[in-house]
């Protein structure tokens, strides 16, 4: 949230102004100091949020036109997109007339998408009557127009964009190599497992309490119990949803609290997950900044599957039996849908 510093002078009056002489007014700006960092890296203290804010505060110090200022900080947020929490709040304040000048340490802190950055500086800010200053680039839209300086900023924006995409490509290649050797690159293990943070490959460890629930789900499904019936049984036994269990570590819902209904989709995902037979499955979703590709689900043939990376919770026979049961049930559903006729 923006923080306001109570330092405001509406007009600076020269002390030497003689009586009756016209007083020269200094134009003042309601300033936004904007700082951003993708990751807080101790190895690069010069890019830290604190350092950026110190540089901007020092820049406006003693300048009466920058008497009132607000601070907007996006920490651990990529500069390749302008959809950022504090940046969006700042732009809302601009539209509400609360901000008339935006100051950044340098262009890379403002954004690394050179097309979008150029659109803001050359089109959006002038339209909204907003002054823009990049301190380290010695760029100020209120200064006299300098074609060479504008060209320099455009080139810097392009370099920033190329740098971000190059880093993204390298990270994606490194991440894929980790997946292919069976390293878990995600945040949370599937329900029934925990991540072994001491292992270089971050392997799954069986969480016995939750694993017992997973086995019961597979056994019921193999017997032909429907997903909805399984979900209802889990709710009746007051078992916490997987997401709630992850947050609280409590397998059952506390007394006095209502047990939430399990979704049939949650049950289905568990029954289809090869992690429960000891396989590491990753790459189900993907994004490629280097190719301007948005995050999306991938086809099953593009998943990265490494077999026998951890202890299974169910054996292959039970897993295959459940898949056949679900397959037959899905075929019946398709046949019933085909038999439905809608008449005028």
Distance CA 160, CA 117 (A): 10
Q: Please give the helix or strand (H or E) that residue 265 lies within, else none.
A: helix 264-272
Which residues make Cβ contacts (< 8 Å) with residue 68, sequence separation at least 6? 4, 5, 7, 8, 28, 29, 30, 31
Check whether 163 has a pLDDT greater than 60. Answer: no
The DSSP code for 280 is E
The C-alpha atoms of residue 238 and residue 231 are separated, in whole angstroms, by: 11
Asked if the model's pLDDT at residue 13 lies above 80, the reply is no
The pLDDT score that the predictor gives to residue 90 is 96
pLDDT for position 27: 83
pLDDT at residue 249, as a whole number? 92
Whether the full predicted model's pTM is greater than 0.85, yes or no, is: no
Percent of the chain with pLDDT over 90: 47
- Residue 303 pLDDT > 90: no
Among 5-19, 151-165, 284-298, whose mean pLDDT is lowest?
Answer: 5-19
DSSP 167-183: HHHHHHHHHHHHHHTT-
Give the residue, 26 or 81, on which the prediction is more confident. Answer: 81
pLDDT at 85: 93
> Mean pLDDT lowest for which of 2-11, 22-31, 174-183, 257-266?
2-11
Beta carbons of 158 and 279 less than 8 angstroms apart: no
Structure tokens at 344: 């005028």
Average pLDDT rounded to a whole number, residues 86-106: 94
Domains of the chain, by residue range, sit at 24-163, 193-337
> Which tens digit of pLDDT belongs to each residue from 172-189?
677 778 788 888 888 899
CA distance 213 to 251: 9
Q: Burial, 158: exposed, middle or buried (Cβ in 10 Å; 0-12, 13-18, 19+)? A: middle
User: Which is it for strands 204-206 and 193-195: parallel, antiparallel or unpaired?
Assistant: antiparallel
Mean pLDDT value of segment 289-299: 58
The least confident of 13-17, 46-50, 62-66, 237-241 is 13-17
Residue 258 has pLDDT above 50, yes or no: yes
- What pLDDT shows up at residue 253? 92
213 membership: H or E segment, kind and range:
helix 208-222
Q: Which CATH number fits domain 24-163: 1.10.150.20, 3.40.50.1390, 3.30.1330.30, 3.20.20.30?
A: 3.40.50.1390
Mean pLDDT of the chain: 80
Average pLDDT over residues 140-150: 64
Predicted confidence at residue 186, as pLDDT, reads 85
Looking at residue 312, its pLDDT comes to 96
pLDDT at 1: 46
pLDDT band at residue 288 under the 50/70/90 scheme: low
Q: Give the per-residue pLDDT at 40.
A: 46
Question: What letter would DSSP give residue 252?
Answer: B
Query: What's domain 193-337's architecture?
Result: Alpha-Beta Complex (3.90)
Cβ contact 96:90 at 8 Å: no
37-51, 111-125, 132-146, 282-296: which range is least confident on average? 282-296
Residue of 39 and 149 predicted with greater confidence: 39
Residue 202 has pLDDT above 80, yes or no: yes
């Amino acid at each position: 949230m923006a923080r306001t510093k109570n330092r405001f002078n509406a007009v600076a009056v020269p002390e030497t102004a003689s009586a009756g002489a016209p007083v020269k007014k200094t134009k003042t700006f309601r300033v936004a100091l904007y700082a951003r960092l993708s990751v807080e890296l101790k190895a690069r203290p010069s890019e830290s949020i604190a350092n950026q804010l110190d540089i901007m505060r020092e820049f406006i110090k003693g300048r009466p036109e920058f008497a009132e200022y607000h601070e907007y900080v996006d920490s651990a947020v990529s500069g390749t997109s302008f959809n950022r929490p504090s940046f969006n709040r700042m732009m809302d304040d601009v539209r509400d007339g609360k901000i008339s000048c935006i100051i950044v340490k340098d262009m890379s802190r403002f954004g690394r998408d050179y097309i979008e950055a150029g659109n803001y500086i050359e089109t959006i800010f002038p339209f909204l009557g907003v002054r823009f200053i990049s301190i380290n680039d010695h760029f100020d839209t209120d200064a006299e127009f300098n074609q060479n300086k504008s060209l320099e900023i455009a080139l810097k924006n392009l370099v920033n964009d190329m740098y971000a995409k190059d880093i993204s490509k390298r990270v994606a290649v490194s991440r894929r190599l980790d997946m292919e050797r069976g390293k878990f690159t995600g945040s949370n293990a599937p329900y029934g497992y925990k991540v072994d943070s001491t292992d270089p490959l971050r392997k799954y460890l069986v969480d016995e309490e939750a694993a017992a629930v997973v086995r019961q789900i597979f056994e019921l499904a193999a017997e032909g119990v429907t997903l909805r019936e399984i979900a209802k049984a889990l709710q009746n036994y007051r078992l916490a949803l997987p997401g709630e269990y992850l947050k609280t570590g409590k397998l059952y819902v506390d007394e006095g609290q209502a047990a939430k209904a399990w979704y049939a989709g949650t049950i289905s995902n568990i029954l289809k997950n090869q992690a429960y037979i000891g396989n590491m499955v990753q790459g189900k979703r993907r994004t490629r900044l280097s190719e301007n590709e948005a995050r999306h689900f991938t086809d099953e043939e593009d998943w990265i599957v490494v077999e026998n990376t951890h202890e299974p919770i169910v054996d292959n026979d039970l897993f295959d039996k459940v898949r056949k049961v679900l397959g037959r049930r899905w075929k019946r559903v398709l046949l019933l849908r085909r038999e439905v006729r809608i008449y005028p």
